[in-house]
Amino acid sequence: MSELDIRNLHAGIDGREILKGVNLVIKQGEVHALMGPNGTGKSTLAYTLMGHPNYQVTEGEVWFKGQNILELEPDERAHLGLFLAFQYPVAIPGVSVANFLRAAINANRKSNNPEYKGIPVPEFRKLLKEEMDLLRMDHAFAGRYLNDGFSGGEKKRAEVLQMATLKPEIAVMDETDSGLDIDALRIVSDGVNALRGPELGVLVITHYQRILNYIKPDQVHIMLGGRIVESGGADLALHLEEHGYDWLREREDHTITA
């Protein structure tokens, strides 16, 4: 069973430290939620894990499948089985969802076998149809240009479809609920729940409890000031919804000054 092991991770952007010692372990088969106010480092953690070039790591390690992935390029991390669902997915006019997914599958498989010639079209069509049926998606969606003219909900469903076809071992979902109405949130959450199982570990990054009404986390972590300051079960998110972050801020301030 694979696990993503984040150890004392410090990172920032433009010389400003944002992550100040993050420790977290996510195993296949588990769903973790990471919550916290704006500016505390949640998205920075997601981008750092996937190797965004604008973010600099100054200390710490991230181990996955026997390797410190901080030493790897973003595509190498993806080929290992790490996946990031973006908060703001980019549109790629002229490239259909199906062609994009087929190219991604071929790149993944070729990384493990340089002699791989590419997934045959009939096999790919069968795979794509099965995954779209699992996610209850209209097959016409596959012929549209990736995220071009998509609604917010459609962009997030396209991200979930990528998860379904690429079959990562650990997926990081960066504020997937951002910009979604209740109906779109339910549809996207149903897709994530359909993929949930022993082969997939998920880190759901969010500001709000509402997505966790649909995607039930095994563990909830709260980030303040670039560190995870509290962890617990699903009830922790409900407590946060009711009481906000002030009780944690006061505790952390007291700890610092004590």
CATH label of the domain that carries residue 63: 3.40.50.300
Name the domain count of the chain. Answer: 1
CB 11 within 8 A of CB 48: yes
CA 121 to chain centre: 28
Q: How confident is the model at residue 183 (pLDDT cuts 50, 70, 90)?
A: confident
Question: Does a structural domain hold residue 156?
Answer: no
Sign (positive or negative) of CA dihedral 80, 26, 52, 63? negative
Helices (H) and strands (E) in the chain, counts: 8, 12
Question: Does a structural domain hold residue 105?
Answer: no
Question: Does a structural domain hold residue 146?
Answer: no
Question: Strands 31-35 and 219-224: what pairing?
Answer: parallel
Q: How far apart are CA 190 and CA 196, in angstroms?
A: 10
Question: Does a structural domain hold residue 149?
Answer: no
Question: Does a structural domain hold residue 154?
Answer: no
Residue among 229, 211, 193, 198 at smallest CA distance from 24: 229
Q: What range does the domain containing 232 cover?
A: 3-90+168-257
pLDDT in tens, 212-244: 999 999 999 999 999 999 999 999 988 888 888
pLDDT in tens, 27-63: 999 999 999 988 899 999 999 999 999 999 999 999 9
Q: Cα-flanking dihedrals φ and ψ of residue 14, to 5°?
A: 55, 40
Q: Which pLDDT score, from 0 to 100, does residue 28 have?
A: 96
Tokens 């650990």 found at: 170
Q: How confident is the model at residue 254 (pLDDT cuts 50, 70, 90)?
A: low
